[in-house]
Amino acid sequence: MVYPGAMHSRLEHSLGVYTWALRVLNQVSEPGPSAHNVDDLRASEAFIVASLVHDAGHWPFCHPIEDMGQSGMPRHEERVDAMLRSGPLAEVLHAEWACTADDVMAILCPKKIEQYLNLTPSKQIAFYASCLSGPIDVDKLDYLQRDSLHAGVPYGRNFDPMRIIASLVRHPHRPKLAIHEKGRTAAEMMVFGRYVMFSEVYWHHTVRSATAMLQRAVHELQQPTRGKAIDFAEWMDLGEAAWVSRLVDAAEQRGDSVQRLVKGLFGPTRKLLKRAAEFNVESGEDMHQMLARRPYWWLASCSRPLASSISDAIGKTVEPELVLIDAPPVKLEVDINIDIVLRSGDVATLGDVSPVASVLANRQFDNHVKRVRVFVPEWVRDRLAAQPEDSMRQWLVSAVAETEKQWV
C-alpha cells in the first residue's frame, strides 16, 4: 500500500535465506575429521532445512496479527513444527536428511532448545540457531536487501554482505556466531541499514496506519459482542486473496466501524486513517514509555476513553474503533550487539568498539525505530487541528489512567 513494487513472496525470501545459509556453512565449517562426524552433519543439515522452512508456517498478515498476542492463535513456528512431523515435508525429512524435526525446531526456536533436545542441547545446534536468528543472521542478510530492492529504497542495500560472510567466525568461548574485527565496518553498516529500514519502511506512518486498521478489525471481529466471534485460526491455511475475501465478508456482516476499517484497506479506493499524534523517545519519551509494549487488548480499551475525550473536544461523536493507538508491541526485536573477535583474540561487543552502533546497542533499538502514534479518520484529524497543541497528550494521560483503573 506504500511501496507498490514490494510484491515479492516468502518463497523468494526462503530461497534467499537458504542461499545465505550455504555461504555461512562454507565459511564457518570446521576443517578436518571433526567436520564429518554424525553430530556435525546432523546440525548443519538441520540448519539448511531450517533456512528453507523458517517461514513455511506463515499465514496472510501473520506478523501484525502475531504482534497482537491474541490467545488461541498458534505462532507460525508451531505450524512449522506440525509440518515437519506429518505430511510431505516430514516424509522427505525422514527419507533424505540426517537431521530430525527436533533438530530443526531447536534451531527455529532456540529459547526452547532444551525442550527439543531432551535437556542436553547440542553446541552445534545452538551455534546454528544463532546463525538463523541473531544480531547478524542469514534471515536479515536476505530480507534487508530484498525488501529494500523491491520497495525502491537504498537503505537496506548500503552494506557489504560478502564482507560480512568472509568475516564470520565461531565465538571462541560460546556456541554462537561472531564476526572478526575485519568485518566491523560492514557490520556497522548493516546495523544502521536495519535501523533505517525499520524507521523509514517497516514503521513508516502510512504502513503503520494500515497495520493498525487491520489489527483493530481483527480484534473487533474476535469479540462476540455483536454477531458470531471469528476464529481466525480456522483461516490459517488460506491464501491471501481468500483470507481477505473472508475478512471482507465478516466485516460486512458486522457492519459499522469495523466494515469501514476493512473497506478502507481492501475496498476499491484506499482510505487509511491519519496521524493525529506521534511520540518517540526523543520528543515524547514520557508518552512513549506510557504506551509502548502494552498488550493489544489494553490499547484497544484505552482508545475508548480517548475517543470520548476527542468527541467532547470536537463536538461530534467519534467511534472508539476508529481511534487507534499504535505502539511498539510487547515482543522486542533481536539485539543488534553482535560479538566482535579482535585481532588480539579478545572478544568485545559491536557497541564497545563502534561509536556508530554504541547508542543503538546501549539504548533499546525498538525505542528509536518504533514510534507511538494515534490514528483517526481524516475529518477528525482536520478538526483536531484547532485544538491546543498539548491536548492529545492530556487526553492520552487521562485515558491511560482510566484504563489502568478499569483493569487493576
Segment 72-86, tens digit of pLDDT: 788 888 899 999 999
With a CB cutoff of 8 Å and minimum separation 6, the contacts of 289 are none
Task: List Cβ neighbours of 78 (8 Å cut-off, separation of 6 or more).
Answer: 57
Answer whether residue 231 is part of any domain. Answer: yes
In a domain, 215, yes or no: yes
Out of 2-6, 315-319, 320-324, least confident range: 2-6
| Inside any domain, residue 254 | yes
Provide the mean pLDDT of the chain.
Answer: 91
pLDDT at 34: 54
Q: How far apart are the C-alpha atoms of 144 and 197, rounded to whole Å?
A: 8
Q: Would you say residue 96 lies in a domain?
A: no
User: Residue 259 corresponds to which amino acid?
Assistant: Q
237 in a structural domain: yes
Does residue 388 sit within a domain? no
pTM of the model: 0.92
Confidence check: pLDDT of 226 > 70 = no
Q: What is the pLDDT of residue 306?
A: 97
Question: Which residues on adjacent β-strands are paired with residue 279?
Answer: 372
Q: In what order do the strands lie in the sheet with 177-180?
A: 168-170, 177-180, 339-341, 347-349
> How many domains does one find in the chain?
1
Would you say residue 355 has pLDDT above 90? no
Q: Which amino acid is at 166?
A: A
Least confident of 108-117, 273-282, 317-326: 108-117
Q: Strand, coil or helix: what is 278? A: strand
Lowest-pLDDT range of 4-13, 68-77, 129-138, 257-266: 68-77
Determine the Cα–Cα distance for residues 180 and 91; give it in Å rounded to an integer. 40
Q: Is residue 338 scored above 60 in pLDDT?
A: yes
Give the bridge partners for 68, in sequence order: none
DSSP H helices, 10-151, are 10-28, 38-53, 62-67, 76-85, 88-96, 101-108, 113-116, 123-132, 138-151
Say what the pLDDT of residue 408 is: 66
Output the pLDDT for position 362: 61
Note down the domain range covering 236.
204-269
The torsion region of residue 87 among left (phi > 0), alpha (psi -120 to 50) and beta comes to left
d(CA 314, CA 316): 6
pLDDT at 356 over 90: no
